[in-house]
Amino acid sequence: MGHTLEITDIQSVTHDVRQIRFEKPDNYSFTPGQATEASIDKEGWRDEKRPFTFTSLNSDPYLEFVIKIYPDHDGVTEQIGKLKVGDSLIIGDAWGTIEYKGEGVFLAGGAGVTPFIAIFRDLHKKGEIGSNKLIFSNKSDKDIILKKEFQEILGDHFVNAITDEPTDDHIFLDGYIDKDFLKSQINDFDQEFYVCGPGPFIDAMMKNLKELGADPEALIFEE
């Protein structure tokens, strides 16, 4: 059963990422990290459903997505990039993807960070951030989603790995995060690991973590 919901606010998070807030139906609930199938309430797009993660909290009076716009992909996110306040989205029920199981290391590649946003916001609100750490890989500084918010929530436990351009306040990597980098950033591989990002990123992280002795309960949300 779908809900047709009006968009109430749209903000630019980065040059190609939008934060979209929309109406929340009565009694609609989800847990941090959960997603839903959403489509655009316009002719020709209603059946084009895609998974998006909620970045709002269940206690918020609105629903929110943070979505990367890909103009060269299949057209759905390109269309989302053209939406205005007053347009509508159709969403289904919430379903589980990544679920918080305890303190650990979060590894995100690009827009793969979205399932972690609500988890960190929820922990921060409850005062339970603890020793959780986010290692966030992006091509360049301008691609970092919610950089300021993550810095405020995580402090020194927010590590930015930039793959395509050397910068002053980040660790510059020539290519993907490798095993040596993980070893330099993580001193305990007997903890929870949360991995999300593009397919090659997930594959590389899982392989490296296993070789370093981790048994990652990595619940993966496909981009």
20 confidence band (pLDDT: 50, 70, 90): very high
Residue 217: the pLDDT is 61
Residue 73: the pLDDT is 66
Residues of the chain with CATH 3.40.50.80: 104-211
89 confidence band (pLDDT: 50, 70, 90): very high
29 confidence band (pLDDT: 50, 70, 90): very high
Phi first, then psi: give them for residue 6, nearest 5 degrees: -80, 140
Find the range with the poorest average confidence among 53-62, 66-75, 203-212: 66-75
Mean pLDDT across the stretch 76-97?
93
For residue 189, count CB atoms less than 10 angstroms from its CB and return exposed for 0-12, middle for 13-18, buried for 19 or more: middle
Residue 154: the pLDDT is 97
- Measured in whole angstroms, the distance separating CA 76 from the mean position of its chain's CA atoms is 18
The dihedral through the CA atoms of 68, 72, 74, 80 has a sign that is positive
Residues of the chain with CATH 2.40.30.10: 3-91
Judge whether residue 74 has pLDDT over 90. Answer: no
Residue 38: the pLDDT is 96
Mean pLDDT across the stretch 82-96?
95
Compute and round to an integer the Cα radius of gyration of the chain. Answer: 17
Please provide the average confidence, as pLDDT, over all residues in the chain. Answer: 90
Mean pLDDT across the stretch 76-92?
94
Distance CA 186, CA 166 (A): 22
Pick the CATH number of 104-211 from 3.40.50.80, 3.10.20.740, 3.10.180.10, 3.10.129.10: 3.40.50.80
Query: What global pTM score does this model have?
Result: 0.92
Pick the CATH number of 3-91 from 2.40.30.10, 3.60.15.10, 2.60.120.260, 3.40.50.300: 2.40.30.10
The model's pLDDT over 110-167, given as tens digits with 9 standing for 90+, comes to: 999 999 999 999 999 999 999 999 999 999 989 999 999 999 999 999 999 988 877 6
Q: CB of 135 within 8 A of CB of 159?
A: yes
Q: CB of 200 within 8 A of CB of 77?
A: no
